[in-house]
Chains A and B, each alone.
Chain A
Amino acid sequence: METKSNNWEPRIVAFFCNWCTYTAADLAGVSRMKYAPNIRVIRLMCSGRLDPQYVMMAFAKGADGVLIGGCHPGDCHYVEGNYKTLRRVTLLERMLHDLGLEKERFRLEWISASEGDKVKKVVNEMVEQVRALGPLDMPGRFADWDKEMEELEAHVNHSQKEIPAHVH
């Protein structure tokens, strides 16, 4: 598990739609644009396939940031999937914010198949912003909280034992 050591590198999980953003990332490759290697792309047919739980899961499993890429409004290969994404993401953003997550860690971008340079720009920007924030390390925090809970439980169990029987 990564810690706040000097060699920590941000890990960004990206969900790209097949038709626009995934293709744009392919174009960035064909054009040999260099960008930060901190991103891992998961291909979906449409950004509309993005279940908000995937984002929660990515954070829970150790992502420092999550990037969603879809077609520009009006350009969805499936007519309007990206509008559904926009609605879900807007709600999800609010929820993540309420949970205390910095807004730079979660980003939605419309990137068309011809915008290879935008992939490069967005990825580099996001990696830098997340790097500045430092590790999110949800798995580590879960472990800490679990430990705290265990300690608390142990403490409660222990004190219960000490309580005299006649109290019950």
Chain B
Amino acid sequence: MNEPTKTQPRIGVYICHCGTNIAGVVDCKAVAETAAQYPNVVVSRDYKYMCSDPGQALIQQDIKEHKLDRIVVSSCSPLLHEHTFRGACEKGGLNPYCFQMVNIREHDSWVHEKGAAATDKAKDLTRAAVSRVAHHKPLETKTTPIHPDVMIVGGGIAGIQAALTLANAGQHVYLVEREPTIGGYMAKFDKTFPTLDCAACILTPKMSAVGAHPNITLWTYSEVAKVDGFVGNYKVVVKRKPRYIIEDLCVGCNECVTACVFKEGKFEDEFNMGLSKRKPVYMPFPQATPPIVLIDPETCINVKTGKCKKTCVEACGDRQAIDFTQKAEMKEVQVGTIILATGFQPFDAKRIPQYGYGIYPNVYTSLEIERLVNASGPTEGHVVLRDGKTKPKSVGIVHCVGSRDNKTHRWCSRVCCMYSMKLAHLIKHHTDAEVFNFYIDIRAPGKGYEEFYEKLQEEGVHFIRGRVAEVTDWQMSKEEEGKLVIRVEDTLAGFVRRIPVDMVVLAVGLEPHADSQDVRRQFNISCSTEGWFLERHPKLAPVNTFTDGIFIAGACQGPKDIPDTVAQAGAAAAEALSLIKAGSIELEPNTAFVVAEECSGCKTCIPMCPYTAISRDDVKKVAVINEALCKGCGTCVAACPSGAIKQNLFDDDEITSEIEAILAK
């Protein structure tokens, strides 16, 4: 191994062309030639692709041939290839931390015009790295063990899929769901596009598998209250809200529901989007998992006043599953990895008042129609108007409600075109009504999707291209009487049309949960500006986040349909599994340490550390940093008035030499 010498470092510099990505803007040859003149540089080369095998081999060969003890590679972002080049150094027999990477692609060639300024910048940045790397010291890679248990937050199809994959691989999974049952939005759907297979038929077997799996601890009606720790070693506190039912004792017989003092349902049934009524004690839906009732504290007379005949308790009898004294319970668990599958919320159609939702009774959201066409829904599958009996003769489906709209959300929600066509098919099938789709573009890019669009056209569903301006009850002709009128510019025909219909369906888009910012802060991950959870890399690390050990799956990362969600959930499970099977993960050795002889024991650093890694040795009267707790932010290093705290990879002499050289001309 070439041990770096203190006196005369031998540095190798490599300038990557990245095809034309860098070389198209930066004169790589000139940068390499200039770099050859920098102090201590023994070899300086430019090469087409440094990250390729021959590129890496070049470094390894030079280390041996020229006895190099420091390497600088000017190429892309260190977040992308630092690991690759450290590996190349190691293979060449050099300590991987005697390496410095320069970002002349993302920070230079991709953001600047071709010319001298871009090349100068590449030279400056490379000179700074050459100067910095001379101060690098060989370091040891640290590893931390990975706890084998996994927590999954969110019990929609993404969470269910990830949980089953991991549990089947033998890992213990804690599945936490906010609602009283798992299943998410998929459980509300009737059919799924484009195959029209019944959503319940494909989902409920998975739900029961989760409920019955010996490796899955299912906590519904629960929320994550606190997350501490780091990859491999997270401590999560879960709040289990009281459902006033002892889960182990309830068998889901529903006798308490029948016996409730409310003879009829009186309160909005969330599962049916408020289209039916439920009692204070209820089962969310027949296939709910776990199949356990719950008591809604907001509406139960006994919870609110304590003055009720408690006919439910009577009906439960010897089982004694009802417990009105139940309190919220905090559960603390250790896990090594966490998968967030918290999904989306539908766009609130009331935000676009000109579409009349909440104003005209016969304007519906797409989720309401999902329940109406569903045989287990409030109308047993009969599509009827709000009066509960009239079959609509004509239905207009408005696409892109809260999508592709600068006033609400700019993004395409990806599923609305397809589910609108699915609903068009189902409505036509159930009522034989004339169905009009009002669309901007039909987006059907999936397996069998375009074919489904063609099928709909053949079925006689009408497609009118144009964003709907307004839904109104202002009638201008006899044929519009008693109807809702959709005003739209038909951009194919080239004129404004008024189309009278009995029922309007608003195809609402997908948006991040209202509390997505709180959730991502809790888990220390990032969000895109829209509020979707941010993946580590949009193409190559789509389920990873910037926080090691935390993965994302499904619509919490961005709108996606069921096949994509399931695929992503599998990917997240595989990523978690790969950490678990490796047993440990390498950590950056960029921790801080105290040079005891220089420490005055002033304690300035102690409150700087968010991880309480610093304490004071009262005998020696100096600060001590617990390396295992240090995450390497360097805040204490900057605060130390005597310069007694050093940080690996980001020490003062490394950073100051970088500053000096970046400005040298």
Contact = CB atoms under 8 A, between A and B. Distances in A.
Given A13-B662, A41-B107, A78 B610 contact: yes
A75 B522 CA distance: 10
Interface in A78-125: 78-81, 84, 88, 112-115, 120
A28 B108 CA distance: 10
B117 A48 contact: no
Interface in B546-596: 546-547, 590
B638 A23 contact: no
A157 B107 CA distance: 53
Contacts of A134: none
B637 interface: yes
B524 to A, nearest CB: 7
Residue in A9, A40, A42 whose Cβ sees the most chain B Cβ within 10 Å:
A40
Contacts of A63: 663
A77 B121 CA distance: 29
A80 B546 contact: no
A51 B635 contact: no
Contact of A78 (B77, B112, B635, B656): B635
B152 to A, nearest CB: 23
Contact of B590 (A35, A45, A48, A80): A45
A23 B526 CA distance: 11
B105 A29 contact: yes
Interface string B518-547: 000100101111000010001000000011
Contact of B112 (A20, A37, A44, A112): A37
Given A48-B635, A79-B610, A80-B610, A37 B117 contact: yes
Interface string B343-379: 0000000000000000000000000000000000000
B268 interface: no
Contacts of A18: 79
A32 B110 contact: yes
Interface in A131-164: none
B659 A114 contact: no
B124 interface: yes
Contact of A48 (B77, B111, B633, B665): B633
A53 to B, nearest CB: 8
B78 interface: yes
A57 to B, nearest CB: 5
Interface in B421-477: none
Interface string A11-30: 10100001110110110111
Contacts of A84: 608, 635, 638-639
B610 A25 contact: no
Contacts of A80: 610
A44 B655 contact: yes
Contact of A49 (B79, B111, B528, B647): B647
B521 A44 contact: no
B128 A42 contact: yes
B125 interface: yes
A114 B534 contact: yes
Nearest to A33: B111
Contacts of B659: 13, 42, 54, 57-58, 61
Contacts of A9: 117
Contacts of A52: 638
Interface residues of A, number: 53
A13 B663 contact: yes
A50 B656 CA distance: 11
Contacts of A48: 608, 633-635, 638
Interface in B64-100: 77-79
A22 B106 CA distance: 10
Interface residues of B, number: 53
Given A23-B546, A49-B633, A63-B663, A88 B658 contact: no
Nearest to B25: A37
B255 interface: no
Nearest to A18: B79
B626 to A, nearest CB: 15
Interface in B97-123: 103, 105-108, 110-113, 117-118, 120-121
Contacts of A22: 79
Interface string A33-73: 11101101111111011111010011001110000000000
Contacts of B652: 51
Contacts of A30: 106, 110, 538
A62 B105 CA distance: 25
Nearest to B631: A78
Contacts of A57: 656, 659-660
A61 B128 CA distance: 13
Contacts of A20: 526
B650 interface: yes
B634 A46 contact: yes
Given A20-B526, A49-B638, A62 B663 contact: yes
B528 to A, nearest CB: 4
Contacts of A128: none
A152 B117 CA distance: 41
A74 B521 contact: yes
A35 B110 CA distance: 10
A1 interface: yes
A19 B611 CA distance: 18
Interface in B169-198: none
Interface of A: 1-2, 9, 11, 13, 18-20, 22-23, 25-26, 28-30, 32-35, 37-38, 40-46, 48-52, 54, 57-58, 61-63, 74-75, 77-81, 84, 88, 112-115, 120
User: When A and B form their complex, which 7 residue pairs have the shortest distance between CB atoms, in order from nearest?
Assistant: A29-B106, A49-B634, A48-B635, A78-B633, A79-B610, A46-B633, A29-B110
8 contacts: A2-B665, A19-B546, A32-B111, A37-B112, A51-B637, A74-B521, A75-B526, A84-B639
